[in-house]
Amino acid sequence: MYRELYRHRTKNNNNNNKEKEKKRKKKENKEKKRKKKEKEEKKKNIHTAMQLYESGRYLFEPDRGLSAALNITWACKVLWSHVALRLVQGTRSR
């Protein structure tokens, strides 16, 4: 009697653990997809910003121009940090 009850309880517990594991994995996958999507969106925004800046349209589209300008400043910071890093590394090696 006790053995059957115990077996039944552990079986249910194992099933619950499997369900929890499935839910956790599903949640993790959703989070990964969301982060990947955000990253792609950011890349796209920077690309769009550069296109707007090069074409000069950002002057005529103030709502898009503001975000474009922000993205451009961010991209420039990244670019200049890379340039500065290269310069510093170059001076060290000499």
* pLDDT tens, position by position, 11-66: 667 777 888 899 999 999 999 999 999 888 878 777 776 676 666 655 545 455 55
Please calculate the CA angle 37-46-71 and round it to the nearest 5 degrees.
Answer: 110
Handedness of CA 34, 50, 80, 62 (dihedral sign): negative
Find the Cα–Cα–Cα–Cα dihedral 33, 38, 44, 47, rounded to 10°: -140
Range of the domain at 8: 2-93
* Domain total of the chain: 1
Q: What is the pTM of this model?
A: 0.41
